[in-house]
Amino acid sequence: MKTEKSESLYNKALKFMPGGVNSPVRACRNVGRVPLFIDHAAGDKIYDVDGNEYIDYVCSWGPNILGSCHPEVIKAVKKSCEKGLTFGACHEGEIELAHLIRKHIPSMELLRLVNSGTEAVMSAVRAARGYTGRDKIVKFEGCYHGHSDDLLVKAGSGLLTNSIPDSAGVPGSCTENTLLAAYNNKQSVEKLFEKYGEDIACIIVEPCAANMGVVPPQDGFLQFLRNITKEYGSLLIFDEVITGFRLSLGGAQEYYGVTPDLTTLGKIVGGGMPLAVYGGKREVMECVAPLGSVYQAGTLSGNPTAVSAGTATLKILEQSENLYAELERKSRKIELAMKKAGLNVNREGSLITAFFTDKRVVDFNTAITSDTKKFSAFFGYLQDRGIYCAPSQFEAMFVSAAHSEADIDYTCDVISKIAPLVLNQD
């Protein structure tokens, strides 16, 4: 495959943006490739500026659960655009989207629309601190919750990929209240609560971790978090920025049957536009300004164009029969092809990661045993055969409703021939 135009654009981009990118993993540095510059996308395909076609398993890192350019979403966005891109004022669309969200995630009794997952999480944590009057928070190693200061500790995703254990520019005072526990490890959480229980405002967790590669919660782990937070008067926050509307219409909380106090949504809920949400128990959310003293605001929050894309997407999701069953079926096909090829796979619904380690991956420490050189070979092998995946071991492969049977079968076929290329090279 030729990538001359991408290479040339990348060299230009390097002059304007750090690493030539607006989000670090896109730079593809650890897989030793030049980032592809995308021209357009449609359905389950993405096309680069050199005219190469790829089956897209990045799906914009999650939002594109319907694939790209679903006609009803595009129609809704166009219609909204023509009425004005932003008002900075109340409009009816906000109510419609809030209603749809609460209908499927009833624990979000009151909610706020914001602009990014980072902002949603930052605001949810602030609300939890404001409500409880406590400062400390518990997060898990390898879980990513956006790039706000106090959550940039062992944060997975791009930080794992680029081996930045923490970020420069974050004062120690910002993270001194961030306590770290190990995912799927109850004792590590118990220890923190025994020592600091009365000072812990909340636990924040990805109910199914997907930013250290996919690591599902073990049986009883989420219920344990629910119980211990209740016992100590702390709040439980599910960061459902990936899992919301992905594992099911009701998100991970419906999928696993555990209800948090606060939830954050992003990615799918914006239907491809910059939109995210935080919300939860009425009593907690009533602490947010103008009702309460927890301040949070946004010039573009509730942006009508973004809202129109989100609303159209959620309507399609709720009206499509079998959509989640089909995602499960197609994803299982890929999982089985990977297993047959000898890969070590974690999958939950339409989130899939192949690890290159003999260990069962259950947390951060086991995730980082994966051989990232082998991952790079795997990534390159797929990309050269027209299969576009995230250029990092510590991300998920996303399956969408737009993935055709033929494209899934082609993907499985390519994977089935992978063993000699990837597994035995050292």
Q: Which residues contact residue 174 at a Cβ distance below 8 angstroms, ignoring those fewer than 6 apart?
A: 149, 150
Tokens linked to 94 = 């906000």
Tokens linked to 321 = 């029969």
270 and 309 in contact (C-beta within 8 Å)?
A: yes
Least distance (Å) between residue 192 CB and ligand PLP: 21
Strands 136-140 and 200-205: parallel
Q: Is residue 376 at the binding interface for ligand PLP, with CB under 6 A as the rule?
A: no
* Closer CB to ligand PLP, 73 or 275, in the complex: 275
Residue that the structure tokens 């990805």 belong to: 206
Least distance (Å) between residue 116 CB and ligand PLP: 4
Neighbours of 198 (CB within 10 A): 11
Tokens linked to 258 = 């555990």
- 100-108, 113-121, 280-288, 374-382 -> range binding ligand PLP (CB under 6 A): 113-121
Which residue in 107, 118, 366, 370 binds ligand PLP (CB under 6 A)? 118
Q: Is residue 370 at the binding interface for ligand PLP, with CB under 6 A as the rule?
A: no
Which residue in 68, 107, 116, 366 binds ligand PLP (CB under 6 A)? 116
144 is catalytic: yes
Which residue in 6, 30, 107, 211 binds ligand PLP (CB under 6 A)? 211
What is the C-alpha to C-alpha distance for residues 305 and 82, in angstroms, rounded to an integer? 9
Nearest to 69 by CA among 402, 408, 330: 402
278 is catalytic: no
Catalytic one among 144, 183, 278, 324?
144
407 is catalytic: no
Strands 53-56 and 45-48: antiparallel
Q: Is residue 266 at the binding interface for ligand PLP, with CB under 6 A as the rule?
A: yes
Q: Which helix (H) or strand (E) is 41 found in, with range?
A: strand 38-42
DSSP 244: B
Q: Is residue 160 at the binding interface for ligand PLP, with CB under 6 A as the rule?
A: no
* Closer CB to ligand PLP, 316 or 396, in the complex: 396
Q: Is residue 6 at the binding interface for ligand PLP, with CB under 6 A as the rule?
A: no
Q: Is residue 260 at the binding interface for ligand PLP, with CB under 6 A as the rule?
A: no
Residues that bind ligand PLP (CB under 6 A): 116-118, 121, 144-146, 206, 211, 239, 241-242, 266, 276
Return the active site residues.
144, 239, 267
